[in-house]
Amino acid sequence: MGGISPQELQARVGEHLGTSDWVLVDQDMINKFADATGDHQFIHVDEEKAKLTPFGGTIAHGFLTLSLMPMLGASTDGPKVAGIKMGVNYGCNKVRFLSPVRSGKRVRSHIKLLELEEKRPGQWQQTNEVTVEIEGEEKPALIAEWISQFFV
């Protein structure tokens, strides 16, 4: 299994690391997220009532879109670090929900490496700027500074 070293990735700070595959956000996904979180606000789950809002239909929860970042990141066409034993989410510096994701739309992420530092031998902390694009729309769904750690 190939890949680059953490040091080679570190040399790419400030660069765009890649774009993910498209993912469909459909009503079934939205309903399952509503069930998992207990957030059944009508703009997410009631298609008839949601048609009467400025959204014109149901929209994904902002936190649903945010929760797609690990899946989107895994499908990114950018470089992969060799020898990763484990990765963990560490948090976000900031998150902004800029545009709603309407049911039936596809999203994908664009990742820019902001920082990569070795916290302890073999433990690396990575900060990425993640922009989640909505297919066919000018404004992204969200922009986040996402912090994760990986262990090699």
Query: pLDDT (tens digit, 0 to 9) for every residue of the chain, 152 residues total?
Result: 579 999 999 999 999 999 999 999 999 999 999 999 999 999 999 999 999 999 999 999 999 999 999 999 999 999 999 999 999 999 999 999 999 999 999 999 999 999 999 999 999 999 999 999 999 999 999 999 999 999 99
Do residues 22 and 110 touch, judged by C-beta distance below 8 A? no
Dist CA 101 CA 135 (whole Å): 10
Q: 48: Cβ–Cβ under 8 A, 6 or more apart, which residues?
A: none
Q: What is the pTM of this model?
A: 0.93
